[in-house]
Amino acid sequence: MTDIKPAARHRARELALQALYQWQLSGYDATNSEARFRAQNHMGKADTGYFHELYKGVTSDPATLDALLEPHIGRPVKDVDAIALCILRMACWELSERMDIPYKVALNEAVDLAKRFGATDAHKFVNGSLDKLAAELRAIEVAAEQP
């Protein structure tokens, strides 16, 4: 197993967010949209394997991710800001599919992305929604963290 640096994984998430946002707004096929994004953006210092895995995980079945998210966001998914929705979907995919990533890492990364790229106070919405989702999807892990 290779040792992936947190900074490279963080950069992969930043790029995946940008690629997902572009895909979501463009209406292009996900594969072509990813290829276009890679061609137009410098991927250096990013964990490109993880970028692809995360992008593919979100674009392959966003409806399933939305169904997991909707009970925890307090509004219909269609009413969520585009950037916040991309961030929520990424974290939802990580929480549901990547048990090797601690839930706190997935939440912290999502909140960080919301602070940097989201609307004012989007990080509060993202954090609150993902706290509830993590309690459902990672109940044992979350319970183990409680005093």
Query: Which CATH number is 6-145 given?
Result: 1.10.940.10
Distances (CA, A) of 13 to 6, 19, 43, 53, 76: 11, 10, 11, 10, 25
Show me where the domains of the chain are located: 6-145
Distances (CA, A) of 110 to 1, 2, 9, 56, 78: 25, 24, 12, 17, 19
* Residues 31-50: b if buried by 16+ CB within 10 A, e if exposed: eebbebbbeeeeeeebbeeb
How confident is the prediction along the chain (147 residues), in pLDDT tens digits per residue? Answer: 456 688 999 999 999 999 999 999 988 899 999 999 999 998 989 999 999 999 999 999 999 999 999 999 999 999 999 999 999 999 999 999 999 999 999 999 999 999 999 999 999 999 999 999 999 999 999 999 877
Exposed, middle or buried: residue 53 (CB in 10 Å: 0-12, 13-18, 19+)?
A: middle
